[in-house]
Amino acid sequence: MAKIKITNSLVSVGWLKENFSAENLIILDASMKPVTNVGDAIKDTYIPNALRFDFDSEIKDHNTALPHMMPTPEFFQDEAQKLGVRQDSAIVVYDNVGIYASPRAWWMFRAMGHENVAVLDGGLPAWISAGYETAATLKGKPDSRGDFLSHPQPDSFIDSSYVLHSIHNSNFTIFDARSAGRFAGTEPEPRPNMKSGHIPNAVNMPFASVLENGKMKSKPALQSMFEKYKNNRKIFYCGTGVTACILALAADQAGEKNFSVYDGSWAEWGMEKENYPIEK
């Protein structure tokens, strides 16, 4: 089958099945253990030919104690090449919950300038529900390297100083993807030694609010959620920068272009030893 070009950052399981034999298709399993209760993960079952994309312990910045931070462009490029990713690869990422960890992998590739990448809507559960074939193991890394090249996109991932300068800027809206309880500081943080509350002037948009039955809500529904903020540059954060990318995907689906993910998220902002401003 000829090479394909992905035109939407979200693809259905039907689309993936239809294009399964495409010459340049690469399927990446970006599953990780959910930190919060987001549903049951499917274990030891995979989409055939899927490669492991482990941003939790491998494809990350190994020089910080913060979890799964975005690595340097050079490191990301090397790891992508090891997976056989080429400059013309059409990448579909999925996870074993539905839509949970896969948007993080999608945004990492987008941050490195690779546009030909999409999230599988509904992930592995939707693939199984459609009755498609599964595999008991993942595919091993290929013998030959790909020719993927990193082209870092400015402000795709941002740091705490960027957020600090945006807090009181009316041209920005900061979105917190955590639960309402964690946002308000009435629910304990799942990680030890973390303060409670949220970044000042942030808006709470729990990541589950953009999902429906494990899939992304419709484009009109998402557009209505972002309508109030459509003229502002958006910053998304969460606990560790994973579910913030679900909001980034939702914003992309709504037609938004002007947004960033705060990579350190609450894992950095809420640390006991830090003195960042906090609201409750």
Q: What is the set of active-site residues?
A: 238
Contact 238, 200 (CB under 8 A): no
Q: What are phi and psi of 180, to 5 degrees?
A: -60, -35
Query: Treating both helix axes as pointing N-terminal to C-terminal, what angle do 219-226 and 244-253 enclose, rounded to 10 degrees?
Result: 110
